[in-house]
Structure 1
Amino acid sequence: MKNLTFALFVSLILLGCAPQRNLVYFSNLTNVSSDQIPKAADLKLQKNDQLSISLTSLNPEYNVLFASANATNSNNPINSKGGFRINSAGNIALPLVGEVKVEGLSLEEAQGVITKALKKQIKDPFVDLQLVNFKITVIGEVNHPASLNVPGEEINLLEALGMAGDMTVFGRRENVLVIREEDGIRNMTRLNLNDKNVYNSPYFHLKQNDIVYVEPDKSKEKQVNPNNHLIPIISTLVSAAAVVLTIVLR
């Protein structure tokens, strides 16, 4: 009978135990660190990117023409600035000069190329260029999964998770998946946010259209598995049986 009582107690302990998880970001950072974080790579323009292009020159009629075309080409209802879409050939169609190749360029490089093209028709043009559809998607074990519009030209993984309300307690911080598509090739990598060295990954700084997926841990899987609803009942019965046996064996 004593062996049976011991076995019941061991079963109760095993049922009540759950694996320990590390919920702390950069938990291996023991001291204040002055390590330099690698700079984000320049954003490169891709097909279907939407650009807001404003022109200021000594020709008011050209400025108005450009502003009107900029609004007419708007296909982005979320952003009131509108913009010119980069087509499947990697070009944008501009008033006065026609198509200009900008795919693969940084915003600064594209601004220079567009300015040079406009100088053939306009004296002293000043071009302001912005990417208006910089979007990322954060899904999985976060409090507010969503597609997020990025107001600037840079965002890192921590900032993206913050915009999505941070991870839930079930999110696996050591196994965050980033999905990125470039030049028609889809790449995926997993990042460990418990490790301070995650800063060195080229995927820590996100690019337009990246998808971040936070995987749930095993405890979440057990919660949603209907077969596991019996565990609390079994645990209660084992506990009650152990108490009864303890009283009987006294």
Structure 2
Amino acid sequence: MRFSLKHSLALAMFALMLVIFSSCGSRKNMVYLQQDSTQINTLYNQHVPRIQKNDILTIVVTAADPKVTAPFNPVSTMTTSNMTQAVDMALRPTYTVDENGDITLPMLGKVKVTGLTRIEAIEKIRTELSQYIKDPGVNINYNNFRVSVLGEVSKPGSFTLPTERITVLEALSMAGDLTIRGVRENVLLIREVDGQKTMHRLDLTKQNTLNSPYYYLAQNDVIYVEPNKAQINNSKLGANTNIIISIAGLIITVISVLTR
């Protein structure tokens, strides 16, 4: 009886250790963009983000004669503590796209920009400015181009970007990459277009992700990396860890007493 209990306990501990140390991950579940027969044909110009309602755009107008651009580029005189004289600092004017898809520009009035790419909006405004300014230059940037990364990543959060050209892999790198517990084959992308949210799945282990229309991100995209089964099981275990440890300790104590 004494030998049998000890033997059973030893076998149980051995089996537990074997399960723990044999739970190694598979390469196909971990490595990004594994080589296959996919023909890579990623073209950014096919998936350029388009201006949406409530976007905030920074618009700067330039010309050979800076005076003629004054109505479009308000200037403030500011004095800094480490300067002896006032300096002119151009404030980059921002415009919010309203619910009708318009921005209101000085002299031009309402200009519809929703549905246009940043380059298309530049050309449209430049054309309309030509009636007031000779050979105007226009620069437009998103002031609130933001993506959010949630779930099993090292540093989840929202990131405001200076450019609209960003890929899902770049967004994940800003969030510190996926943890070892993140599911790489089923990354969720949530995108809002014209007030409607859509969901899309990306398999980061496949090269054809590079050809996906969702490889390049749009403003306000949300990326969610779900936990793998091991992490889900660990979370269930974690809630009852103290109870399990107490019960295990009690069982070991009883067995020790019985086998003396």
TM range (shorter): 0.7 to 0.9
Which stretch shows the higher mean deviation, 145-154 or 103-112?
Answer: 145-154
Question: What is aligned with 1:44?
Answer: 50
TM-score normalised to the size of structure 1? 0.78
2-structure distance, mates of 1:95, 1:61:
15
On the 8 A contact 1:180/1:188 being kept in 2, the answer is yes
Aligned amino acid, residue 68 of structure 2: Y
Q: CA deviation at 1:211?
A: 0.2
Query: Alpha-carbon deviation of 1:201?
Result: 1.8
Gaps of 5+ in 1: 70-79
Cα pair distance change 1:6/1:191, threshold 3 Å:
farther
Aligned mates of 1:179, 1:106 — CA distance in 2: 20
1:126 Cα deviation from its structure 2 partner? 1.7
User: Which residue in the other structure is 2:163 paired with?
Assistant: 152
- Alpha-carbon distance between aligned partners in 1 of 2:233 and 2:68, rounded to the nearest angstrom: 64
1:67 Cα deviation from its structure 2 partner: 0.9
Q: Secondary structure at the match of 2:147?
A: strand
TM-score by length of 2: 0.75
Contact 1:9-1:239 at 8 Å conserved across structures: no
> Of the candidates 88, 93, 117, which is equivalent to residue 99 of structure 2?
88
Unaligned runs of 5+ in 2: 76-90
Task: Give the distance between the partners of 2:199 and 2:138, measured in 1 at CA.
Answer: 36
Give me the whole-angstrom Cα distance separating, in 1, the residues matched to 2:206 and 2:4. Answer: 45
Find out whether 1:17 has 2:34 as its counterpart. Answer: no
Q: CA deviation at 1:141?
A: 1.1
* Equivalenced residues, count: 235
Identical-residue share of aligned pairs (%): 38
- Please show how residues 1-250 of structure 1 align to structure 2 within 5 Å: 9=11, 13=15, 17=19, 20-21=24-25, 22-26=29-33, 28-29=34-35, 35-40=39-44, 41-68=47-74, 81-225=92-236, 226-229=239-242
CA drift at 1:120 = 2.3
Residue 231 of structure 1 and its aligned partner are, at CA, apart by 5.2
Counterpart of 1:227, as a letter, is: N
Aligned CA distance change for structure 1 residues 232 and 17 (closer, same or farther; 3 Å): farther
Q: Judging changes above 3 Å, is the alpha-carbon distance between structure 1 residues 3 and 175 closer, same or farther for their aligned structure 2 residues?
A: farther
Q: 1:232 to 1:200 in 2, by over 3 A?
A: farther
Secondary structure of residue in 1 paired with 2:72:
helix
1: distance between equivalents of 2:243 and 2:58? 58
